[in-house]
């Protein structure tokens, strides 16, 4: 295919600002690939105006694109959960984005809150394969006797053999093509015995197909210790939706901050478009001030291009970002200044 058709959802807060910079970079990196973009208005503004979150007709239209670029969803003027459960998660579920891919790489010149020379002398470079369609995110649960002293709330984590096996296989395949060929399962099977042992047995079984990949296991609490004290031990991590949500925020923090963390919500079959978004949220406190770092959105564009087989364009973006990061001083630049500087290097 010589032309790419990208759906763009700026969303809430700083989402539209950082996505605008991502689009500049996408244009500049595209080269002779013809690119068309269509904007979709989803998020707080639409909800206030129409009461809609994610209309079925929009899902159908989105499915007709090659990829989706998303800024952020979530706004304090909307009750917590309405947009998250109404827009972002339904998008991931509708598109069957079962691989939520979140790289954590500390680029040269980027400051980490860790004493990297001591705790990670060989650098930080791992990727979390977070399951994206199951776990406690599916909304399986309920509340009884709400707002009484006897209130009971349940959130039941759903883990299917089918869902676990496909994401585990994807993680093994990613580990196999990385130099270290190492996979860590992160769970909590000492307490969550039903789901935990399903994951453990699945990793063991699928591992037989990947004899050259070395496998490790860590309880999620211990994994957070190692993220802070020995992050170099990680190569590929596979974990469920909620553990993956939590550890990828720590991963972002140690690898230079949430302003740099990119992600892909991937449907590996290619049946539906995959969706790329910065890990950070809508940051309403700094929205509209040109303060947000667009780097995570720009790196998300690179992941989008790589996913669509445009590896060369993706590599050029990564190199431009790396060069910009290496020369970034402490001087504050605006969102668009960062975007322009990276674009200029392409």
287 touches, from Mn ion, ligand IPM, none (C-beta below 5 to 8 Å by class):
none
- Smallest distance, ligand IPM to C-beta of residue 214, A: 28
Q: What is the rounded distance in angstroms from the CA atom of residue 317 to the CA atom of residue 337? A: 16
Which helix (H) or strand (E) segment is 100 a member of? strand 99-105
Q: Which residues touch 21 (CB under 8 Å, ≥6 apart)?
A: 294, 297, 298, 335, 336, 338, 339, 342
Q: Which residues touch 325 (CB under 8 Å, ≥6 apart)?
A: 107, 108, 109, 110, 256, 260, 295
Q: What angle do CA 66, 58, 26 make, to 5 degrees?
A: 35
For this structure, is 96 an active site residue? no
Residue with the shortest CB distance to Mn ion: 245
Cβ proximity to Mn ion: between 4 and 252 the closer is 252
Cβ proximity to ligand IPM: between 67 and 136 the closer is 136
For this structure, is 105 an active site residue? no
- Smallest distance, ligand IPM to C-beta of residue 281, A: 6
- Smallest distance, Mn ion to C-beta of residue 209, A: 30
| Site of interaction with ligand IPM (CB under 6 A) | 74, 84, 88-89, 245, 279, 281
Residue pair 253/224 in contact (Cβ under 8 Å)? The answer is no
Cβ proximity to Mn ion: between 132 and 339 the closer is 132
The single-letter DSSP state of residue 146 is: T
Cβ proximity to ligand IPM: between 245 and 293 the closer is 245
85 carries a ligand binding annotation: no
Cβ proximity to ligand IPM: between 48 and 85 the closer is 85
Site for Mn ion in 217-246 (CB under 5 A): 245
- Smallest distance, ligand IPM to C-beta of residue 279, A: 6
For this structure, is 318 an active site residue? no
12 touches, from Mn ion, ligand IPM, none (C-beta below 5 to 8 Å by class):
none
- Please state, in angstroms and as integers, the Cα–Cα distance from residue 66 to each residue in 48, 63, 112, 162, 301, following that order: 29, 8, 35, 26, 13
Helix, strand, coil share (%) of the chain residues, nearest 5? 45, 20, 35
Helix (H, G, I), strand (E, B) or coil at 162: helix
Residue with the shortest CB distance to ligand IPM: 84
For this structure, is 235 an active site residue? no
Which helix (H) or strand (E) segment is 16 a member of? helix 15-30
- Smallest distance, ligand IPM to C-beta of residue 42, A: 13
The single-letter DSSP state of residue 158 is: B
For this structure, is 240 an active site residue? no
Binding residues for substrate: 92, 102, 130, 221
Binding positions are 92, 102, 130, 221, 245, 249, 281-293
Residues within the interface to Mn ion (CB under 5 A): 245
Task: Give the residue numbers marked as catalytic.
Answer: 137, 188, 221, 245, 249
């Amino acid at each position: 295919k010589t032309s790419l058709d990208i759906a763009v959802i700026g969303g809430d807060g700083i989402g539209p600002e950082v996505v605008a910079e991502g689009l500049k970079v996408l244009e500049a990196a595209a080269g002779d690939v013809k690119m068309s973009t269509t904007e979709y208005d989803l998020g707080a503004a639409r909800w206030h105006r129409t009461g809609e979150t994610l209309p079925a007709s929009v899902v159908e239209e989105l499915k007709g694109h090659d990829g989706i670029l998303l800024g952020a969803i979530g706004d304090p003027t909307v009750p917590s959960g309405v947009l998250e459960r109404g827009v972002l998660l339904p998008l991931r579920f509708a598109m069957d984005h079962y691989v939520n891919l979140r790289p954590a790489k500390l680029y040269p010149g980027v400051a980490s809150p860790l004493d990297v020379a001591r705790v990670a002398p060989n650098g930080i470079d791992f990727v979390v394969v977070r399951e994206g369609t199951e776990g406690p995110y599916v909304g399986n649960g309920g509340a009884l006797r709400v707002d009484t002293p006897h209130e009971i709330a349940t959130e039941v984590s759903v883990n299917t053999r089918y869902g676990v096996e496909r994401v585990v296989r994807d993680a093994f395949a990613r580990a196999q093509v990385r130099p270290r060929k190492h996979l860590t399962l992160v769970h909590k099977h000492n307490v969550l015995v039903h789901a935990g042992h399903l994951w453990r047995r699945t990793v063991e079984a699928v591992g037989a197909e990947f004899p050259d990949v070395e496998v490790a296991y860590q309880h999620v609490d211990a994994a957070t210790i190692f993220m802070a004290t020995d992050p170099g031990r990680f190569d590929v991590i596979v974990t469920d939706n909620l553990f993956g949500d939590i550890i990828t925020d720590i991963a972002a923090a140690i690898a230079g901050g949430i302003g740099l963390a990119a992600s892909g919500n991937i449907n590996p079959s290619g049946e539906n478009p995959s969706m790329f978004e910065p890990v950070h949220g809508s940051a309403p406190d700094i929205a509209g001030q040109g303060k947000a770092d667009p780097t995570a959105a720009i790196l998300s564009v690179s992941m989008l291009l790589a996913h669509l087989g445009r590896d060369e364009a993706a590599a050029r973006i990564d190199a431009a970002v790396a060069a910009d990061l290496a020369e970034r001083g402490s001087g504050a630049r605006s969102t668009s200044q960062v975007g322009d500087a990276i674009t200029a290097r392409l």
